Amino acid sequence: MKILRTKTAVIGLICGWLLLFGVVPILMLLTSSFLSQDAAGFYRLPFSLHSYRQLFLDPGYLEVMLRSLKLAALTTLICLSAGYPFAWFTARFSKRQRLVILILLMIPFWTNSLVRTYAIRMVLGTHGLLNKLLLATGLIDSPLRLLYTDTAVLLGLFYLMLPFMILPLYANLEKLDYRLVEAAHDLGAGPLQIFRRVIVPLSLPGIFAGCIMVFVPTMGLFYVASLLGGARQLLIGNLIQQQFLNARNWPLGSATSVMLILLMTVMLAGYALIMRRLTARGQRS
Amino acid sequence: MTGKRRLHQQISAHNPGKIAVSDSVLSIRGLSKAFGGLKVLTDISLEVSQGEFITLLGPSGCGKTTLLRLVAGFEKPDRGSVYLDGVDISSLPPEKRQVNTVFQSYALFPHMTVAANVAFGLELKGFRGRELNDRVNQALDQVRMRELADRYPGRLSGGQQQRVAIARAVVNTPRVLLLDEPLSALDARLRRDMQIELKRLQRELGIAFILVTHDQDEALSMSDRVVVMQDSRIAQIGTPREVYEDPANLYVARFIGDINLFPGTVIGRNGKNELQVQIFDRRVLARSDKALQPGQLVQLLLRPEDLRLTEDAAEKVPFFWGSIMERSYRGSTLDTTIHLDAGPVVRACEFFDEDDPDFDYRVGERVKVSWVQGWEVVLPDEDPTH
């Protein structure tokens, strides 16, 4: 009886928390996205579809949307191609070495990512560490323009998101039964064929998990673009930030947020579907 | 039991255990391997003939699995070579060797159907379409798994996975098939069935099989020849009868089957094939052509089925007095444990015969323990603590 009451209390607490900080804000966001802009206040009646019309019909917004998708996809791809070999070799190391590598991978999380983005600025700036180093070694004569470029944004996103790719991949590859690799060797497969036909298919769950964990947050990382890419790098996250803080167009900011949430929901649902399919065929029994 | 004749009375003539090199498909010469200073294999040599069924028998850690992995190519030898059809394959990677392995864990690809698993090796060799299908189906028929071709391994029982693993290996028509304790995960009944099926498959395919096992029954019942391994070395190579009836040393004798040991001392030699041995308070004649010197400590080995229990001493055979400790009826045989007056406890195993007047022994009853003359084996005592 007492256990039951405690259980009810805990579940109630969790539900209350989710309701207060999850459901209610999203409902508020949804509602405000259908309201009209008010220059003085936040928003006013009447309800209208104006913000959504703006979002879909103004080619400028569509372009921001596409650019964000492209940048997130590119970041994911780079993180995957760097993270996969990293995770593979880490999983093959001895237990002790693996622990050291994983700890090194975790340490940056102790520092806020905004602070770390500022640190990247100090490295990439005109008078930054990298330029000073290149000038000192005589490789270049005048400082390179590194900051406020697409490359700088990509580099920043790559740096911040890489661990989120490596960890799910590592968790998957560490469990990979190496005897399957030996079996493939035994049946006549060379290294490339083994990678393509055995290792990649078996690590698909890790690959999907890593891509989702990089792609979804990247879409909203507005400060990386604004700190490293300057004003030109308008991404969906920046758009939301601008609408709320500068343009004071809360309905449009809300509508953009709703679109971003929808996009993420679709991707997560797709991920869940793929995982179910992989499990259903007995892959992970 | 009466038809049994000790093999070592026939051996010296034609010297079995040696196979002419000409028909050998796999030849292992002077192979040694150590892992971090620990010797796992020491100077291993073995010839395997076309279509031969060989078992590597030994306890865990004796090096038998490492030997298999060296033949498969998963490990490189420190010294020595492996020849396949006369060609040195020691430095070839596993995918270049015409040798396939059935792994202990089966190692089936979980993301492929049964048919795709079996097709894997053939596809890499360039088989496509109709011919690929025919060969895969034929292999699945051989292991009676055709109906489950579209299943994923995760949905198969252990025995079914075992069959698929065998089909996946033999479909590549290897020169030698390596099997690493393939039956150890199956329950006893299924294991018996699979032993028979493996034998049948091996006869049909005519491929040489090398099977690793720690189960002596399995080794004896399946093999043409048994390789008994002991601490990184080969202790004995021989037919199942040779290793059982004429073990090379006490280790082999103890590892294969039950054995009774009678410690003794060599007195002298009576002609070429007979020794006089002092066992407890008796002198007995024992058949042996081994080079044993007078005064040397030896063990007289007798299998439980070699012992005879009698009450009358009319027969002029050596015997030892003892009393019955335990008697258990096991259907086809009657097992008796006897405490000899001289000290040791021995086990006898006789065919059950209800007309036998000696059938009614009771616990505590005194009996004479003798044995079938000529079935004894004399080996030098390796262990001074005896």
Average pLDDT, integer, range B20-34: 83
All residues of chain B having their beta carbon less than 8 Å from the beta carbon of residue A185 are 73-74, 93-95
Longest dimension (CA), chain A: 78
**Given this model, what pLDDT does residue A1 score?**
63
pLDDT class of B43 with cuts at 50, 70, 90:
very high
Contact A38, A247 (CB under 8 A): no
Shortest CB distance from B94 goes to which of A186, A193, A198?
A186
Question: Does position B5 have pLDDT exceeding 70, yes or no?
Answer: no
Residue A281: closest C-alpha in chain B: B152
Residue A147, in any domain of the structure: yes
Shortest CB distance from A180 goes to which of B73, B93, B109?
B109
B233-250 per-position pLDDT tens digit: 999 999 999 999 889 999
Contact B100, A186 (CB under 8 A): yes
CATH number at residue A230: 1.10.3720.10
**Given this model, what pLDDT does residue B84 score?**
94
Average pLDDT, integer, range B53-64: 91
pLDDT class of B123 with cuts at 50, 70, 90:
very high
Is B103 in Cβ contact with A282 (below 8 Å)?
no
Question: Does position B273 have pLDDT exceeding 90, yes or no?
Answer: no
All residues of chain A having their beta carbon less than 8 Å from the beta carbon of residue B169 are 186-187
Structural domain count of chain A = 1
Q: What is the ipTM of this complex?
A: 0.80
- Of A239, A248, A253, the residue nearest A38 (C-alpha): A248
B319-367 per-position pLDDT tens digit: 888 989 988 888 888 889 999 888 888 999 888 776 766 667 788 888 8
Question: Does position B18 have pLDDT exceeding 70, yes or no?
Answer: no
> Domain B258-380, what architecture?
Beta Barrel (2.40)
Question: Does position B184 have pLDDT exceeding 80, yes or no?
Answer: yes
Chain A closest-CA separation from residue B106 CA (Å): 9
Best residue of B111, B120, B155, B172 to probe chain A, by most A CBs closer than 10 Å: B111
Shortest CB distance from A282 goes to which of B74, B103, B152?
B152
**Given this model, what pLDDT does residue B1 score?**
36
Average pLDDT, integer, range B32-61: 92
**Given this model, what pLDDT does residue A56 score?**
86
Q: Which amino acid is at A120?
A: I
Chain B closest-CA separation from residue A100 CA (Å): 24
CA atoms within 13 A on the CB side of B102: 27
Residue A219, in any domain of the structure: yes
pTM across the whole model = 0.80
What span, in angstroms and rounded, lies between the C-alpha atoms of B197 and B182? Answer: 12
Is B74 in Cβ contact with A189 (below 8 Å)?
no
**Given this model, what pLDDT does residue A85 score?**
94
pLDDT, averaged across chain A = 87
Tokens of B261: 């040991």
pLDDT, averaged across chain B = 86
Residue A45, in any domain of the structure: no
- Of A235, A212, A211, the residue nearest A65 (C-alpha): A235
Best residue of B96, B100, B109 to probe chain A, by most A CBs closer than 10 Å: B109
Residue A244, in any domain of the structure: yes
| Terminal C-alpha separation, chain B | 31
All residues of chain B having their beta carbon less than 8 Å from the beta carbon of residue A183 are 101, 103, 107-109
Show me where the domains of chain B are located.
8-98+174-254, 258-380
B74 burial (CB, 10 Å; 0-12 / 13-18 / 19+) is middle
Question: Does position B6 have pLDDT exceeding 70, yes or no?
Answer: no
Shortest CB distance from B95 goes to which of A180, A189, A284?
A189
State the DSSP string of B98-143. Answer: SEEEE-TT----TTS-HHHHHHHHHHHTT--HHHHHHHHHHHHHHT
Average pLDDT, integer, range B75-84: 94
Question: Does position B271 have pLDDT exceeding 70, yes or no?
Answer: yes
User: B8-98+174-254 — its CATH code?
Assistant: 3.40.50.300
Is B121 in Cβ contact with A182 (below 8 Å)?
no
Is B107 in Cβ contact with A179 (below 8 Å)?
yes
**Given this model, what pLDDT does residue B10 score?**
47
All residues of chain A having their beta carbon less than 8 Å from the beta carbon of residue B136 are none
Could you tell me the mean pLDDT of each successive run of 10 residues in chain A, 285 residues long?
82 93 92 82 78 86 86 94 94 91 89 88 83 83 80 90 94 91 94 93 92 89 83 76 84 90 89 83 51
Question: Does position B51 have pLDDT exceeding 60, yes or no?
Answer: yes
A206-245 per-position pLDDT tens digit: 999 999 999 988 888 888 888 888 766 678 888 888 888 8
- Residue span of the structural domain in which A100 resides: 57-280
Residue A231, in any domain of the structure: yes
- A1 or B155: which leads in pLDDT: B155
- B313 or B323: which leads in pLDDT: B323
Average pLDDT, integer, range B69-95: 93
Residue B113: closest C-alpha in chain A: A281
